[in-house]
Structure 1
């Protein structure tokens, strides 16, 4: 026995012969060529080519190499058989797949009607509708764009026992996704570059009105071009999808026509399913569901089989309906009790569900319309923006110091201020949750667009009268002597008159939001602004007090040592009863309603001839104005006077939420007139030690 199987050895001759049927291992590895003898070397042929050397097996037919060749041939036949088996399996699998694809391509919603069905008058109308719907569906599918796709096809040749794979082109419907426009990978970098360039131009155009006008025209042209390009793309997309929409509509109509036929077919064969309108409606819905289910399950099968399954289900449903009706007839009282209990259960469940839905909807509505950032971040960001406005105001105040030498300074200034809720709504719609650090870049961008300060030098040629001194020779008429005398004369002299024009424009944040936000973000911005982020008092938004205005009859006011201003108090009291605050926030410069308590106080000061203090936010603008000038008194300050400002902190977080004007005090209570107290002007009073009083802005009337 050897590793190659059983071997028989002739002891006389020494010849070996394999007697085992085992396939030799050597047949599965590369055979080594036997060494050639010198006399067996390749000899040149007459044509000059060398003859191939003969192997030992070729020279010795009965050598052990012959048996090796025989075993190798057997192994090759075995492997060919195995390979053929795998090829046949793959070929059958490919054939089944191709058959399924062919059946899917031939899937149709057209029903096949028998002669008996076509001869039935009751079904003639519905057969005609079904055929017309199928014709329209075929025409709509034929209009869908086609494409040629390269597919593989595996076949098996039984004669040779080998499989073949060939490629062929097959026409298929073009998928809808191929009509979708591809995103340009350069669109985002281009947009960022455009924003960068626009910001650079914004920083330059403040000093040149010509550049500003050209930039505005260029921005308008860009918007028009983008709008036109978007509409062209939408139209092109809609045009490409039109065949698919038509096919879907036709398929829906064919489905409906087939269901109508199935229902009337079932009704014709089973008259007992007619009954009341409610039962007919339920039967029709049942048939519709059965037909749709059968059509889905049939997949590549024709709609005819789905129709057969539907008719069978309809017949079964009719039998069940008949049995149910018989049961109800036998047990009317029990059925009534069961129906009443079911209705009661449904009513209770619906009530509980509606309460839960109302509560869930209310909570979702509140959360969906609230600012998503922390209150501290909202206030800090608002303070940062107000600091930028204060810096702009200081720059304007120092114009004459920073630009000396002009004969005249002419000012054309819009008001400096903004609605804090407009800014918070814009940032929330754009950034969702933000902090002062993450919002700083956007604050700079909005500030640069809102305020435009332009300084323009103007030179006028003017004339003035100057008195000059001259000399002349005078002759005495009597003596004839001459003398020189001095005299004065006036002349008109031209000179340059230098004027510096200072112009400040304030573009509302609401207009900036319409330019920078997408339609979805703009809708969110409007919702946040409408609800004030469900935090109306966050930036000093007024008083939540809905009570009536108080009566001052019988109140004895005690005057302090500081002089007050009763005229401004009388002016403020005449505003009591105003609702909405339009005269005050529109005077301040807002285009829409703002939290107007600070606007009311500023309006009162302005009507009294004061340009300051002027503020629209309590904590970020009003309180700093008084404190920076040393005109501040904490809660409990005893020497308050009429016309002072009183600030309130409703939630105790250290930030002023509301402001009003002091009418006076009777020694224990302070009386005020306030704007936006429950969205109205009212007279109110508080204990002098009331914890929500943050402090007083002390006016200097001297």
Structure 2
């Protein structure tokens, strides 16, 4: 967890009545943040360092232990107390999912609640895991308060040094906005407290210039007020004359804004540079693991390693949504590191066992030979690498608006299907492809099923978004089914796959009919149902895979994981 800086102020600044209160709040917030960080569990990491004696020239390898913060355990979230699986583990996506020929099944886990009190937010799955996460939550909360206090102190300091900026609300807003932007940039770049403050102070010049330009613009408008009045009248008349074409203009405006809003705004060199940087980090991790035994000195090794891989479109879509627009490579270096740490969870555990070996010795006087069991330490190293799929991170690190942007970019691939052409890990070019299916007319005679399939087919081709539960964020499997049935006559709220199963009545395969739900198990590591789709008859279902699509349930993959059919109440 990157620490917020403790800002440094001079005695003169601390004595200033205008700054006394914001500085005191910043100091108090810094004290609380330090205490909160101190409560994060620590662990000792073993390092090997080579030391050369300058007198003898001999090289000695020594062990050194350093105390560091333990990594935050992956969050375990659910959507309703009654539906939270007791022992559900939000872990790696089942490797078979990537091997499925038909679909890359979206698995469900943490579900971001979007709508009102009925969804209830997220909750920690178990009291034990909640207890483990508490110091990290408290530290994050304290860091957020410290950041707010720091920005407020810098803002008041800037107003004191530049009183002209307080002349109007626009200038004050520009100054505070500039300070926030500079502070965030300094934080991402990992600057120190002093340099962060210095960078923030530089915004006074920017805001001062912007305020001056605003004033000049206002004066210009006032001096030419008659011309501007005539221009306004002409615009009104033009709008009146074109009123009959309003539908066409709205259509063009919608298309134009839609294309612009779904296109990556950053430069190619920055996006390709970000992808290359991330790929280099993965290559270094792979090299570290490939040479692990050669660079470590243990007696035995056990490896449990996920594949090191990511979709470059997912990476660029996350960066663009996270930074809410255009970015440069320098601006996202900190974000790339954060994403890498969250995607790849490397655990190295050394277990020391006491073992015995037989040592034989001979008495020099009697020549008698004796044997004895001598204890010694036997080191066993367990190395685990979990790839927490990059596409699952947006719901953990973004707000609702950002997740919505991410879904749009993934649905269109930023309107740049050529950007990563040739990359075997990239998403399909263009809009996400999906399998369509013609529902038999006799099945559509059922009014309830017709309403369900009409709603479901609106979202064919929508990308899988971990935790997604609405069209604005796209969906995961249970979020998609919950949305469909809530807009087809039911009101069940946002449920997990197990939650949907709990409110339904299991039916046999022979009695299953269009409109029933179909459940699967073992598509990832959790108890009970782990995936859900809407059965449409004739061995077909519509579900949120990658993307939302129709699928044949009689394939070997789905048959292997089939759980049950169930009918909604």
TM-score (norm 1): 0.31
| TM-score normalized with structure 2 length | 0.37
Larger Rg: 1
RCO (CA 8 Å, sep 6+): is it higher in 1 or 2?
Answer: 2
